[in-house]
Amino acid sequence: MAKILSTKTLSEVSFERLLAAGHQISHYDIISAEPLPFAAPRYDVYICSSQNAVTALSHYWKNQDQEHLLNTDWYCVGDKTAEALKKMGLRVVEIAHSAQELIEEKLSIHELEEKRKLWLTGVKKTKETETYIRSKKADAIDVYLTIPNLKKVSESFDVVLFYSPQGIEYFLKNNSIDKGVKVYCIGDPTAQKAESLNISVTAVAKTPSSERMVLDCILDLKKQ
């Protein structure tokens, strides 16, 4: 049995899977998001790399030029983000596993060069997103604000699950990671942030979803 800490509230399915595998789980949201009022201007292409951005769009849907948004191409990161956009009736044409992949493989094609692109982002952006926007290949509008939950964890854990570079930064403000603790990351940017802070990463999820990371964690711990 392992004592596992997830820095994001797990779905009921993931929580039950960990329990069924014999593990002890604590979970909480180290980051919450507050939607910001906005109205998206007309662009040829819209980009969305976070479920938080979709939540903000849904929250302020009445402010939008809905007919235009429903008939415009959307590019996004992650299957969950794509599902949320599609539930709103939006036309998702490309899905990437990370912002870096979205920029390098999906948004760099010749057909998009002359199209006006708008990225729906949080106030705090990844380096990849900032670089892409600064290069004038897209404009951006801040649609949500991330709020850290700087909680001090009193227990010790065998495993910690991280879901974003920001999450690692916030966790380390009041906590440390002891040697021997297994660290699982949802994607390469999160793993790179951990390694830049001298945290040894045990594994990176095969696909960037919390459900997949939990499954990878269970399978990995079963080998021990």
pLDDT for 75 equals: 97
Indicate the DSSP class of residue 164. Answer: -
Residue 206: the pLDDT is 83
Domain limits, the chain: 3-30+149-222, 34-147
Which tens digit of pLDDT belongs to each residue from 12-35?
Answer: 999 999 999 999 999 999 999 999
Q: Where are the beta strands (DSSP E) in the chain?
A: 3-6, 24-27, 31-35, 45-48, 73-77, 91-96, 117-122, 139-148, 159-162, 182-185, 203-204
Least confident of 20-29, 133-142, 171-180: 133-142
Pick 128 or 16 by higher pLDDT. Answer: 16
Q: Which CATH number is associated with domain 3-30+149-222?
A: 3.40.50.10090
Secondary structure (3-state) at 144: strand
Q: Which fold has domain 34-147?
A: Rossmann fold (3.40.50)
What is the per-residue pLDDT for 48?
Answer: 95
Candidate from 18-32, 44-58, 202-216 with smallest mean pLDDT: 202-216
The string of pLDDT tens digits covering residues 148-172 is 999 999 899 999 999 999 999 999 9
Query: How high is the pLDDT of residue 113?
Result: 87
Q: Cβ contacts of residue 84 below 8 Å, gap of 6+?
A: 51, 54, 55, 58
Please, which pLDDT band fits residue 144 given cuts at 50, 70 and 90? very high
Among candidates 173, 209, 172, 202, which has minimal Cα distance to 4? 202
pTM: 0.85
| 224 has pLDDT over 80 | no
